[in-house]
Structure 1
Amino acid sequence: MQLELRHLEAVCRIAEAGSLGRAATRLGVSQPALSAQLRRIERVAGGELFFRGRSGVEPTPLGEFVLERARRVLGEMDALAAGARAVAQGAGPLRLGCILLVLVDELLGQLDEVTSSQSVSVELEHSVTVLTRMLGAGQYDVILYGEVNDHEVPLPEGTLARTLIAREPFCVRLAATHHLAGRAEIDLADLAGEPWMTLVEDDDGGPEALVEACARAGFTPDLRHRITDRKMHYDLIAAGRAVSLTQPTAPAAPGTVLRPLAGDPVTGRIRLAWNRSAVSAEQADLLYRAAVRAYLANLDNNPFHRAWWDARPELHPRPAP
């Protein structure tokens, strides 16, 4: 693991808040998730960054060192974004940041059709925290992101958001040779003992939702792999070495099958947020409609999701694109 801006942001928020609980609230993540992230950061830094006590946390000498430089780096990044935006004066393309959602592939073609008067640049990130920070700093004009179960991503000031897909049930991808692959629907409890591929994003509520759902099913998931490369991800599953949660619109992959989970224990939302000073209401509506069409284009990838979707018209985007 390498330190990223979101990790520096987390360290600064912990120091400012004086406790992991308050910092987690400000960052919009759970305290266990932030604690786990801090442990990973400390492993990279080479030691503890905070003293833990009953009254909260205080930086260690190593923590003070990291904090000083983290604040400098984050300040420089904010200054860079603001300066670049001032120089550009809005003459460049509309900048769209996304996490790795299934609809992104189809979205590129849809954008060409609806934004002929202005080009759109698209960049992928693996962190919702990074997306929202860059939106607030003016490095993105629009972001497309997901939230899992009841998690809500805090957005920076000066932004507006619109829900694209109010709810979709995560399903499970497993090897075609898996002993459960022949079932039409799988109980989460039947996946106890399986090695899991962790979700790429660790700040959208997904990891916590999976752990909580597994706890309700009576087991703790073995979160063994975290792989961002799609082909490697699919190959590992096809080899029977992992199972993973995935969006129900995900495409087929050789050697794997997708199956719905009984009772929809983990669900997601897809949202669009934009900077009011950079994106007009008309532009935002065009982007929303393009994203809706991109999502709908993938509905028939898996018949079980098409049936689920058709049975819930109240969840369909309004107005229709």
Structure 2
Amino acid sequence: MQLELRHLQAVCRIAEAGSLGLAARRLGVSQPALSAQLRRIERVAGGELFVRTRHGVEPTSLGEFVLGTARRVLLEMDALGAESRAFVTGRPLRLGCILLVLVDGLLEQTDLAMADQEVTVDLEHSATALLRMLGAGQYDAVAYGEVNEHEMPLPAGVLARTLIPKEPFCVRMSAGHPLAAREFVELADLADESWTTLVEDDDGGPEALVEACAKAGFVPSLRYRITDRTMRYGLIAAGRAISLSQPTAQPSEGTVLRPLAGSPITGRIRLAWNRSTVSAGQAALLYRAAARAYLATVDNNPFHRAWWDARPELHPVLE
């Protein structure tokens, strides 16, 4: 038996997952089948690649050596595929996004940064679905958010880069709300409010809100789940609900944005791409376009500009 790319991929998935069971699920095979395959790979390699521990499996010294080589080979093969596709004209780069503020300016920035590459942009409601479609090849790259410590698992063959490591969520409320005149709003003062969230808010936002509210001494009423931005803002302007919001959000008539005292809920923005269809150069251009789209929104709200300027370590790197 000779080692093939699928064998190298299996070894890498086992190391990334930390267990044979989880790796088997990600590869879409049974655990006994993956165990048998690993034994065949180990016979070719000349020894054990992993040892079992209380927490799963860990690579041996031989395993570390094989992993290093496997990762280099797989990266080279992915780069070969991506660079080859770059020579094919007429094929657009398919970009998927969830409802992030920067999406409003992202298409313009990709047109500027990637003038020789047509980019299509689709909006999805679910970050989980977005990454699943990326793994299935329906998208070449995606932009998505995560809240607090929530981390979205990446499909096999996908690379990711953090664009904005941290931004403080604020609250959108009616301009006539009793707290609207405050510079900062204490989360505990919102205990009696009704909240609106997205229909499929699976970026960790609802969980982060519930956890933060629990620390503030109450359980939030998540009454409305609405994707349409106009309808959501209408409810808020009427004083019927409030919502979490990115600090870069545009003003909306009848509503105001106020930062939460202590920044109990924060988000980050990430880009992920299929390394077999997106070259390193394309990924860098996409990152630059997304960074410029975000930076164009920092002045939407003065409180965020002050917060942002005080934290240069969080700024995207524009090579």
Deviations 1:92-121 (Å, cap 9, x if unpaired)?
Answer: 210000000000011111111111111000
Contact 1:147–1:270 (8 Å) recurs in 2 = yes
Q: What is the 5 A alignment of 1:24-63?
A: none
Match of 2:76 in 1: none
Residue 298 of structure 1: aligned partner: 297
TM-score, normalization: structure 1?
0.71
Q: Secondary structure at the match of 1:202?
A: coil
Alignment of 1:16-165 (within 5 A): 91-165=90-164
Q: Distance in 2 between matches of 1:301 and 1:96?
A: 25
2:135 partner amino acid: G
Match of 2:224 in 1: 225
Three-state SS of the structure 2 residue aligned to 1:145 is strand
Alpha-carbon distance in structure 2 between the residues aligned to 1:155 and 1:90: 29
Q: Which amino acid aligns with 2:259?
A: P
Q: Which residue of 2 aligns with 1:266?
A: 265
Residue aligning to 2:78: none
Note the 1:240-255 alignment, pairs <5 A. 240-255=239-254
TM, length-normalised to structure 2: 0.72
CA contact (8 A) 1:90 1:278 kept: no
Indicate if the aligned counterparts of 1:111 and 1:120 stay in contact, CA closer than 8 A.
yes
Task: Give the share of equivalent positions with the same residue, in percent.
Answer: 72
Distance 2:102 2:96 in 1: 13
Partner of 2:174: 175
Q: Which string of whole-angstrom CA distances, capped at 9 and with x for unpartnered residues, describes residues 183-218 of structure 1?
A: 000000000010001244422111100000000000
Shift of 1:91: 4.7
Residue 199 of structure 1 contacts residue 206 of structure 1 at CA under 8 Å; is this kept in 2?
A: no
Equivalent position of 2:314 in the other structure: 315
| Displacement of 1:90 | 8.1
Aligned length: 237
Runs of 4+ in 1 over 4 A off after TM superposition: none
The letter for the 1-side match of 2:314 is L
For 1:316 and 1:172, the matched residues in 2 are separated by 23
Alpha-carbon RMSD across the aligned residues, in angstroms, is: 1.8
In 1, the alpha carbon distance for the partners of 2:196 and 2:272 equals 28
The answer (yes or no) to whether the contact 1:199–1:207 under 8 Å persists in 2 is no
The whole-number CA distance in structure 2 between the counterparts of 1:152 and 1:115 is 29
Aligned residue number for residue 10 of structure 2: none
Q: Which amino acid aligns with 2:138?
A: Q
The one-letter code matched in structure 2 to 1:99 is I
| Structure 2 SS opposite 1:290 | helix
Q: The residue matched to 2:257 in structure 1 has which SS?
A: strand
